[in-house]
Amino acid sequence: MHKVSVVIPTLNRADLVAKTIDRIENQTVSTDLYEVLVVDNSSTDHTRQVLHQKAAAYPNLRVHVQTKRGAAATRNVGIREALKVISKAR
C-alpha cells in the first residue's frame, strides 16, 4: 500500500502537468511508497493525451477525469480516489 497520495488537480495545463509528473517521478523516494493521482477537470487542450502517455510510463500514476467543473469538485474527487486505495487495503 502507498504511504502518500500526491493529488494533482488540473485544467488545460498539459505542459505544466507533464513537467510536474516528471519531477515527482524522478525523486529519490521509492515509487512503492507513493502514488500520483491526476484529476483532469475536463480539459479541452491536449492534457488527456499527455496524461495517457505519462500513465503508460509511470505505473504508480492514476488519472481520473472529472466532468463537474470547478476546482473544489476536482480536489474532492482526488481525495475520494486516494481514499479508495486505503479502503481496499483494509
pLDDT at residue 58, as a whole number: 94
Domain ranges of the chain: 4-89
Segment 43-62, tens digit of pLDDT: 999 999 999 999 999 999 99
Average pLDDT over residues 4-15: 95
Q: Could you count the other beta carbons within 10 Å of the beta carbon of residue 88?
A: 8
Question: What mean pLDDT value characterizes the chain?
Answer: 91
- pLDDT above 80 (res 84): yes
Q: At what angle do helices 14-25 and 47-57 cross, to 10 degrees?
A: 20
Report pTM. Answer: 0.88
pLDDT band at 88 (very low <50, low <70, confident <90, very high): low
CA dihedral sign of residues 57, 55, 5, 46: positive
Closest CA to 80 of 1, 30, 9: 9
Is 59 exposed, middle or buried, given 0-12, 13-18 or 19+ CB atoms closer than 10 A? exposed
CATH architecture for residues 4-89: Alpha-Beta Complex (3.90)
| Strands lying side by side in the sheet with 61-65 | 4-10, 34-40, 61-65
